[in-house]
Amino acid sequence: ADKTLTVTGVVDRITVNDVHDIYYIILASAEKKEQWNVRCVFDRKYGAQLNRLAAGQTVTVQGKYNGYRVNILMKDCVLVS
């Protein structure tokens, strides 16, 4: 656990909720072949940056692996590109 990963994927969903302090994006595989999506959780300070993203955009995110449930989970994420 807590292994740092860098992943590139297509933004499937963006959630920015200042009231509940929730900031994450869901990345999907560009080829749509992978069954796992990646949920990337960010700190509040990245909220404005996340709001500038658009669904369908390809991004690279770095963060710490945090297990999996429905999606692969990453925490403490930052946008690389």
Each residue's pLDDT tens digit, 20-50:
999 999 999 877 666 789 999 999 999 999 9
pLDDT range class, residue 51, cuts 50, 70, 90: very high
Number of domains in the chain: 1
> Which segments of 8-79 does DSSP mark as H helices, in order?
47-51
CA distance 53 to 78: 13
Report the CATH number at residue 20. 2.40.50.140
CA distance 18 to 27: 21
Q: At residue 47, what are phi and psi to the nearest 5 degrees?
A: -55, -45
CA distance 41 to 8: 15
pTM: 0.89
